[in-house]
Structure 1
Amino acid sequence: MRKIYFICILFICNDILAQKKDKLYPVTVYEKAWQEKNSDARLKIIKTIWLDDSTFEDPSASIKGIVAFNNVITEFYKKFPDAKLTAGAKVVKDNYVSWDWKIQDAKNNLIMTGRDFARLNGKGQVAKIIGFWDSGAILSEADILKNLEADHFKLVSKYVESLFKTRDFNVMATLIEEGAIYNQAEELPYGGTYKGFEEWKKMFAKATEFFDVEIEKEPVYFSDASKNEVIIYFTIKCKSKKSGKTLSMPISEHFDLKDGKITGIRPFYFDTKQFVEFLKSRK
């Protein structure tokens, strides 16, 4: 009799655990949606657990529907492109699930924390999400931009080091977005528009046919983190391979950035005409 009683209890416990697991499925998918940065891929995920009358509310938004919820996440990643979301243990009661979460940047600096409450419809879908923020843990917009600016400086300075000092193209390749654009002044012997790092390397190789270069004065960095761009000002010292002459030239480079990668570079020479004449001159 005891054995039969124990088996019944075991079946009941397993059934309860199975029900709890099933209830967590839409929440698990919901978290996957938040971690997906590609809008089209994320929309497909959302459609599996979200309905046209499902709602989402937090201090930043109050929306209904599938597309509207996808847009909420899109706007989030525009503001926090390197954000990492981590969720805590789930508490399940009837058709409600709650859990704590935190958001960190690429350097693991805390951006914000909070708690979500989900109401499920019992059919593997989310009926409603309400999110609460811990205002004491939320970084100010100025702090967020400051952290992003520091990441931008680090990225560009690593590129400068790889190009001008270590000459390490393997490291440089990890910094460049696929299809990134490099625009050189058309007047230069290696001028033109180059797309993708393989084309960049050809441009760099062609440039080395004309001169050797080193940094004479270290770069000064300027940034507008809200626009994902960095501008640097520095002085290069070049030695012509045709004439053997040397020339110091101030130069500015404009970097476009996205998701921790360089997507475009445009250099500006202080006197492009003088630089072209220097490269073409002979002894």
Structure 2
Amino acid sequence: MDTRQRIENLYALTAAGKWDEVEAQLTDDFKIVEANSLPFGGTYAGKDALQRLYTKVFAFWADPSIEMHDIVTSADNAIGLLTINATSRHTGQRLAMKVAEVFHLRGDKISGITPYYFDTAEVAQAAGPAVEAA
């Protein structure tokens, strides 16, 4: 499987909630870092980090969908260019959040993800106040 297919596969597995299969794609020291200005910001580490973050993020949003625009790859990284469409559970506002997600690769596994939102202030305002993870 080439890098683009690996990233597309990870998106599909995550959307389907196939967390065991997601974890099989990740290194043991996997880390995802969200901007601290977001109510779900911070560093999430470990093979279950993506599931924990996904659960926390979608506590803020309803009716999510993703528009994949492109995946750009290099030897050690890939970048997913996408728009996340979702409705704020706090305000009821529908947002189209433009995001570039940088995937860090090591061997045949993904070792990390760093998402870059185009407008973190808009996302934070629509999401509402941070809540503690369950």
TM over 0.5: yes
Q: Tell me what 2:101 maps to.
A: 253
Q: For residue 32 of structure 2, what is the aligned residue in structure 1?
A: 182
| Match among 35, 38, 51 for residue 201 of structure 1 | 51
Gaps of 5+ in 1: 1-149
Structure with a larger share of its residues in strand: 2
- Give the paired residue count: 128
1:78-107 CA distances to partner (integer Å, 9 max, x unpaired)?
Answer: xxxxxxxxxxxxxxxxxxxxxxxxxxxxxx
Deviation of the 1:223 alpha carbon: 1.2
The CA distance in 1 between the partners of 2:51 and 2:84, in whole Å, is: 19
The letter for the 2-side match of 1:158 is: N
CA deviations 1:138-193 (Å, max 9, x no partner) are xxxxxxxxxxxx611111111111223x2221221111111111000001111101
Percent identity, please: 25
Question: Which residue of 2 is the match for residue 170 of structure 1?
Answer: 20
Q: Is the 8 A contact 2:44 2:53 kept in 1?
A: yes
Q: Deviations over 1:23-54 (max 9, x none)?
A: xxxxxxxxxxxxxxxxxxxxxxxxxxxxxxxx
| Higher-helix-fraction structure | 1
- RCO higher in structure (CA 8 A, sep ≥6): 2
Matched-pair contact (CA < 8 Å) for 2:68–2:80: no
Q: Residues 200 and 234 (structure 1 numbering): CA distance in 2 closer, same or farther, change over 3 Å? A: closer
Match status 1:229 vs 2:77:
yes
- For structure 2, list consecutive stretches of 5 or more residues without a partner in the other structure: 130-134
Counterpart mapping for 1:80-91 below 5 A: none
Deviation, structure 1 residue 218: 1.9
- Name segments (4+ residues, structure 1) moved above 4 Å: none
Q: Distance in 1 between matches of 2:59 and 2:114?
A: 21
Superposed CA RMSD in Å reads: 1.6
CA distance in 1, matches of 2:47, 2:126: 27
Q: Which of 139, 147, 151 is the matching residue for 2:2?
A: 151
TM-score (norm 2): 0.87
Q: Please say if residues 90 and 126 of structure 2, whose CA atoms lie closer than 8 Å, have aligned partners that are also in contact.
A: no
Partner of 2:132: none
The structure that has the greater radius of gyration is 1
Q: 1:277 offset after TM fit, Å?
A: 0.6
In the alignment, the residues of structure 2 paired with residue 162 and residue 193 of structure 1 have an alpha-carbon distance, to the nearest angstrom, of 21
Normalising by the residue count of structure 1, what TM-score does the alignment of the two structures yield?
0.43
- CA-to-aligned-CA distance 1:194-253 (integer Å, 9 cap, x gap): 1112233222211121113211x223011112xx11011111101112222211111100
